[in-house]
Amino acid sequence: MKDIEAVIFDLDNTLYSFSDIWQQANKSMYYLFNLQEKLSYESFFNIYKKHNKNVLKEIKEKKISSKNLRNARIILTMQDLGIVFTDSDARNYYKKMFVFILEKIKKDNNLIDKLKKLKKNYKIYLLTNGFSKEQRKKLEKLEITNIFDNIYISAETGNSKPNKEAFLQIIKGNNLAIEKTLMVGDSYNFDIQPAKKLGMQTAFIPKKWHLDEVMIFDINEKQYKNIDEVFAYLEN
């Protein structure tokens, strides 16, 4: 086993399957708005993905702020369906959708036991992008908040992956040896590639996100099927 003293975990799609839960919640919103009377769920989701892609392009071109992504994609989707949707409507839409998401996140005793066992031999940290309130509530539902030595959420720290400062804040703030720190995540671009550039060890659990068309990563990158395989590697 490689010389590892600390492990940094991503949250969504790494410690639990967020994309599957997101899609279930998204479908619940489709039925809540009675959209089945207008079109199939598959057609609704394709329209949503189309606008997500277009808005992301505008963000990349710096035509709009990334803060507008969530609201813009559902407002434009509803407009295509002949429904007038305001910013206030969009905020309420996602508040309700998050209720559905939380309902589907369940405590995982195996995950809890594995993390607690791991903590006996390693320093463990959580690094996630997202809104503070939402990410904290997910951790509460999973009942893993108090297991980590520290938790880093982009909305709280001001540092988002893949920015190197998101990783260095943990390394520097906890006096970790960067070459003895393992980054565990599902995103090659946001978790694995930036960590490797800094000299960290990595464990890649490829998981296609709900809005991704394709996954792009180095085919030579060692992959793990799920978080349990990573735990097994660390426990060996």
Average pLDDT of adjacent 10-residue blocks, the chain of 236 residues: 89 96 97 97 96 88 82 96 96 97 97 98 97 97 98 96 96 97 95 97 92 77 95 93
pLDDT of residue 61: 86
pLDDT of residue 1: 45
Q: Are 235 and 4 in contact (CB under 8 A)?
A: no
pTM over cut 0.85: yes
Q: Taking the CA atoms of 185, 186, 191 and 197 in sequence, report the sign of the dihedral they define.
A: positive
pLDDT of residue 208: 83
pLDDT of residue 214: 66
- Closest alpha carbon to 232 in 114, 95, 94, 102: 114
- Closest alpha carbon to 118 in 8, 235, 3: 235
Half-sphere exposure for 52 (CA within 13 Å, toward CB) = 12
